[in-house]
Structure 1
């Protein structure tokens, strides 16, 4: 017998891709449980299992940076005070690619995946191998399915960190896959949406006050960020081509306001309404119009 739970939870995190670099992601999580009927004619108590699996996902992948630990470009080094350093050398993937990436963070902010490439299918198999022994003994198997949201229109993948946040959003490299809705004078504007998605394609949204330096090494420009939050010291070195700087925190409220402000400035006299999403099905709305001169 099998039980299923559709849309158990959403996991929002970032992962590192050998070609594209740091990518924000949002996956819907579905599960199937296999087992024998007990004396109550049930396989297991739904509510208990759902809570157990959701908590495990919250603790082990959600709002973390997932790394392909066995890729030959990956190096993971233990630091003092329960911190780790993830370093990726792109030249191991392509000899003419001189980029490097580095994130130093508390151990709890890094999800170490034993694979060369992170995909929904590979990550789901890893989760299955980790959680089965945590579930009730009557369960014989668990199947996990991660699915990116189906977005028909514009979308982008962004990573960020919110150092003032009391929860796991404070981690410097977590992210989301998001759509965006933009209305110009009350009408949905697909051209503006796709233009904005292109601006924020595979992007890291950096806060100006967290930027500690900009440097060039081997003809590659980097932005370096650092801050200390409740969970500890976070540091990030990333290709400048993958960075979009803001003079504000990167909360979804600030992001939707930024979109509206920029588009209103570019389109005087047009009422802009920007619906900025943070992952699946949630976000903020901002409106702005700039008077024509």
Structure 2
């Protein structure tokens, strides 16, 4: 006998890809529980198990940076004060690719996955191996499915950090897969949407206040970010080609306002309404119009 839960939760994270670099991601989560019926003609107490699994996901992968620990370019180094340094050297696999990436953060912000490539299926199998022993004894198996939202229009994957946030959004490298809706004079404009998705393709959205340095190495430029929040000291070094700088915090409210401001500036006299999404099914709306001169 099996029980299922569709869309148990959404997992928002960033993960590192050997070719594309840092990627924001949002996965919907389905689970299937298998076991024998108990005296109450139930497999288990559904509500308790749902809470247990969601709590585990919140604590072990959600709003974290997931890294492929078995990939040749990955180096993990413990630091003082329960921190860890993740470094990735692309040249280990591609000799002519001299890009590098580094994130030094509290250990709780890093999810170490024992694999070469991070995919929804591989991550789900890892979760299954970790949680079964935590669940009631009458459960014989648990199946987890991660999958991105089905988006028919424009989408982009972004990573960021919100140092002022009291929760896990303060982590410097967590992210989302998001769609965007843009209306010009009340009519949805897919050209503007696709254009914006291109601008923010595989992007790190950086806040000017958090920029610590610009680095030149081996003919490449890197942005170095640094800040201290409630969870501790966070540092990030990332290829400048993957960075989009803003003069504001990267909350979804500020991001939708930025989209509206830029598009209004580029299209004088047109009323712009930007729906910025933060992952799946949530976001903010901003409106702007710039008078023609």
TM range (shorter): over 0.9
Given that 1:6 and 1:30 are in contact with CA atoms closer than 8 Å, whether structure 2 keeps it comes out as yes
- What's the CA shift for 1:215? 1.2
- For 1:88, the equivalent position in structure 2 comes to 88
Query: Contact between 1:209 and 1:247, CA under 8 Å: does it hold in 2?
Result: yes
Query: Which position in structure 2 is the counterpart of 1:29?
Result: 29
User: SS state of the match for residue 191, structure 2?
Assistant: helix
CA distance in structure 2 between the partners assigned to 1:212 and 1:75 by the alignment: 23
Separation (CA, whole Å) in 1 of partners of 2:19 and 2:194: 23
Q: Which residue in the other structure is 1:4 paired with?
A: 4
Q: What is residue 74 of structure 2 aligned with on the other side?
A: 74
Cα-to-partner distance string for 1:41-60 (whole Å, 9 max, x where unaligned): 00000000000000000000
In 1, Cα distance between equivalents of 2:112 and 2:24: 16
Q: Give deviations 1:23-58, integer Å, cap 9, x for gaps.
A: 000000000000000000000000000000000000
CA contact under 8 A between 1:19 and 1:93: conserved in structure 2?
Answer: no
How far does residue 110 in structure 1 lie from its aligned partner after superposition? 0.1
The reply to whether residue 190 of structure 1 matches residue 194 of structure 2 is no
Q: Structure 1: which 5+ residue stretches go unaligned?
A: none
Counterpart in the other structure of 1:200: 200
Alignment of 1:233-244 (within 5 A): 233-244=233-244
- Quote the Cα distance in structure 2 between the aligned partners of 1:219 and 1:60: 37
Aligned residue for 1:44? 44
Aligned length: 293
Contact 1:101 1:237 in 2 (8 A): yes
Equivalent-residue separation in structure 2 for 1:252 and 1:259 (angstroms): 11
Cα RMSD for the two superposed structures:
0.3
CA distance in 1, matches of 2:285, 2:167: 23
Structure 2 counterpart SS, 1:158: strand
Task: State the match for 2:137 in structure 1.
Answer: 137
The unaligned stretches of length 5 or more in structure 2 are none
The answer for the alignment partner of 1:230 in structure 2 is 230
Corresponding position of 1:168: 168
Q: State the distance in 1 between where 2:93 and 2:29 align.
A: 30
Q: Following TM superposition, by how much is the alpha carbon of 1:93 offset from its aligned partner in structure 2, in angstroms?
A: 2.3
> 2-side partners of 1:53 and 1:93: how far apart?
36
Q: Match for residue 178 of structure 2?
A: 178
2:153 maps to: 153
